[in-house]
Amino acid sequence: MKWVLVAVLVLATVLGDLLQSHEMKRAGEQSVSARGFARLLHIIAQRRLLILGIACNAVSFFTFMALVQTEPLSFAVPASSASFVLETLLAKFVLHERLGARRAAGALAVLAGVVLVGG
Amino acid sequence: MTNLTARSGALLKTYSVLVFFLALKAVGNSAMAWGMKQVPERMSMNPALYLRAMLNPFVAMGVAALILALLTRMALFSLADLSFVLPVTAVGYVIAVFLGKVFLHETVTHQRWLGTLLIFAGAALVGSTSRNTTSTTSPEESPT
């Protein structure tokens, strides 16, 4: 069951990250002051893909709640890094990017790490 | 000269936001894990369970800190490229395992530490490979 939760968490996180990164780059530089946050909320309200990205974050958030209820934090957080593996696979097989040796080695190290953390 | 001042100002801002993000994430994760283990009902597909769990003060604190962390991370994305944000926030995995051990008294085996360090190194490697999506917005140009 813990790996099912990790899989849902990772899927929702990757989709949410892609949408957020894409939309925030288009929105320009933001700050973390009170006014900055108000402006950020305004931007969120105007961008549908950003809202979808945030919905994905909500799913990953609730899944994380369920995961830490039954599993230790020292498993839940490192296991969520499997998102790097999924992102790399998406880059290779969906976006047809050419993976550098560093990126491939990094993704493999993360995968090995997740297996060790879960074992 | 003013260009240099502006650049170091932008760098300071980026690192301040980064530290703020890591702190929020650490507090949020720990409070959430601590609170969720006190919630008697097991979570399922029913959303009402999650809302009820948020009545626990630690869970509520975790939710608040993690939402703030999410907004801070979005601000960080606007300040720096993904290829900078991913490797530097990877240290959060190590922080989480450390907090789990120290504050939540979890048993962290050597195997789990090794796994976490591999993840940290791997995430840093993946993140440090430039994706060349943008060339003008980044205040970060580390000469690697």
In a domain, B21, yes or no: yes
User: Quick one: average pLDDT of B28-32?
Assistant: 96
d(CA B93, CA B2): 38
pLDDT of residue A19: 82
pLDDT of residue B144: 37
Main-chain dihedrals φ then ψ at residue A66, nearest 5 degrees? -65, -40
Question: How many other CB atoms are there within 10 angstroms of residue A75's CB atom?
Answer: 25
Whether B58 contacts chain A with CB within 8 A: no
Structure tokens of B116? 């976490």
In a domain, B68, yes or no: yes
Residues of A (89-118) whose Cβ lies below 8 Å from B: 100, 102-103, 105-118
Per the structure, how many domains does chain B have? 1
Domain limits for position B58: 2-128
d(CA A58, CA A74): 21
Tens of pLDDT, residues B113-131: 999 999 999 988 887 765 4
| Beta carbons of B99 and B30 less than 8 angstroms apart | yes
Whether B127 contacts chain A with CB within 8 A: yes
The answer to whether B78 contacts A24, with C-beta atoms less than 8 Å apart, is: yes
B37 closest CB neighbour out of A36, A69, A81: A69
Tens of pLDDT, residues B45-65: 888 999 999 999 999 999 999
d(CA A91, CA A88): 5
Number of alpha helices (DSSP H) and beta strands (DSSP E) in chain B:
6, 0
B66 closest CB neighbour out of A31, A61, A69: A61
In a domain, B139, yes or no: no
- For tokens 């931007």, the residue is A43
The answer to whether A112 contacts B115, with C-beta atoms less than 8 Å apart, is: yes
Domain limits for position A94: 2-118
Has residue B140 got a pLDDT over 50? Answer: no
In a domain, B23, yes or no: yes
Residues of A (35-64) whose Cβ lies below 8 Å from B: 36-37, 40, 57, 61-62, 64
pLDDT of residue B2: 64
d(CA B73, CA B20): 9
Q: What is the pLDDT along chain A (119 residues), one digit of tens a residue?
A: 899 999 999 999 999 878 877 777 676 666 667 777 787 778 777 788 888 888 998 899 899 999 999 999 999 999 999 988 998 888 788 777 788 888 899 999 999 999 999 98
Give the sign of the dihedral formed by CA A43, CA B31, CA B14, CA B141: negative
Query: B132 versus A31: which is more confidently predicted?
Result: A31
Per the structure, how many domains does chain A have? 1
| Beta carbons of A116 and A81 less than 8 angstroms apart | no
Alpha helices in chain A (DSSP H): 2-27, 34-46, 48-70, 73-79, 83-93, 101-118
pTM over 0.80? The answer is no
Query: B81 versus A15: which is more confidently predicted?
Result: A15
The CA distance from A25 to the nearest CA of chain B, in Å, is 6
Q: Which of A91, B21, A55, A60 is nearest to A47 (CA)?
A: A55
